[in-house]
Structure 1
């Protein structure tokens, strides 16, 4: 039955007017491919074996009719669109806009956390319930979204460094700013990046 099904002719989907382009990891940090989606019908159109400019541009050239390319801020997909569908309009999708915005806000708050004023004590709870003992305040945060992400990025960056990968290549591959990659590379332990004025405090936002 499977052989019969596989033997059936495959009908090629029509070229979408609004094409979504994004990468996905076959092996995180090592092997990436590209998924193409019809944004208007929300159906996958094709999977490309890599995320190179030539591969995406060739697909666009072979499938004329794309009017809008919906993508992230990747320079690779921007160049591919310019070569393969020069008349298409490029737009950012909502998911990447929210992701970039949340990362920018979080990065700014973390960078300037020492300038933020201490929150007033809650009238319904004693101050002691919000603050850890002094000896624990200086320690790095061990859990939470920021902590988990920093530890994962630190491990990935150092794995790539051991393979001889340059910082510029690592930044492009992980989609991080080069200064961020440099800080991760220079830190022997991720805890060095997680020590801050508020890093040991209990917050009502923790849950």
Structure 2
């Protein structure tokens, strides 16, 4: 544990363990330990890490069989990874993320190895697809999740929907007189129900309203994009539109889930 922490951190831990030792002594002991002979690797993991997100990255190689790091490289262009893999022909399986540079490096450096996407990115991709699917069929899910009415509720609903006509409400119009000939009788207008919005459409409408409101308050396109965490192109398109675009208010489109 002291060797893993290094100089001053190891010295502080040693003091807590009642074994006072200086950081320089720990470093000397670490350098005096003979280096382990490099063993063969069968299962290797490759991933990147950020020293400064969006600017400076590095690459780490991990021995998945022993659960320990193998090497670190600057950048994530894949060239050092390909060179390292060529010197270790015994690798059988490589787990990596979906970065194209790593895929090319594994193909060039270890063509005999099987490339496997790591679990983190697989779970993330599944989550995104399921979330997108739920947004597309949000209204159908709401209908399916509604609790069915009970027998008492159905009977009350039928009673309320049946009109009760008293003797005072019976019309006194002679049978020979029809409403068609009465000029004072207006035809009953059919009401059209507004289209039902899905979760995705409602969220898009709310975002559209927020963009228009912030734009009226004088904020710039870049400020709105940062505040709402959307692209500047989307903010510009919403700002120029009079209504929320990309709506599908017509009949629902056929999908592969309809038969289920």
Q: Tell me the TM-score normalized by structure 1.
A: 0.55
- CA distance 1:106–1:79, change in 2 (3 Å): same
Q: Which runs of 5+ in 1 are unaligned?
A: 124-136, 141-153, 159-182, 196-207
Q: Could you tell me which residue of structure 1 aligns to residue 83 of structure 2?
A: 58
Q: Could you tell me which residue of structure 2 aligns to residue 45 of structure 1?
A: 70
- CA distance 1:91–1:39, change in 2 (3 Å): same
Q: Could you tell me which residue of structure 2 aligns to residue 130 of structure 1?
A: none
**Aligned match of 2:233 in 183, 186, 205?**
186
Q: Could you tell me which residue of structure 2 aligns to residue 69 of structure 1?
A: 94
Larger Rg belongs to: 2
Q: How many residues align?
A: 143
- CA distance 1:28–1:107, change in 2 (3 Å): farther
Q: Which runs of 5+ in 2 are unaligned?
A: 1-24, 149-202, 208-224, 245-260
Instruction: Tell me, in whole angstroms, the C-alpha distance in 1 between the residues paired with 2:146 and 2:113.
Output: 55
**SS of residue in 1 equivalent to 2:27:** helix
Instruction: Tell me, in whole angstroms, the C-alpha distance in 1 between the residues paired with 2:133 and 2:56.
Output: 31
**SS of residue in 1 equivalent to 2:65:** coil
- CA distance 1:4–1:106, change in 2 (3 Å): same
**SS of residue in 2 equivalent to 1:187:** helix
Q: Could you tell me which residue of structure 2 aligns to residue 5 of structure 1?
A: 29
**SS of residue in 1 equivalent to 2:112:** coil
The 8 Å contact of residues 13 and 45 in structure 1, kept in 2 or not, is answered as no
- What do you get for the CA RMSD once the two structures are aligned? 3.6
- Residues 124-178 of structure 1: CA distance to partner in whole angstroms, max 9, x if unpaired? xxxxxxxxxxxxx9645xxxxxxxxxxxxx64xx9xxxxxxxxxxxxxxxxxxxx
The 8 Å contact of residues 18 and 68 in structure 1, kept in 2 or not, is answered as yes
Q: CA deviation at 1:18?
A: 0.7
Q: Which has the higher contact order (CA 8 A, sep 6+)?
A: 1
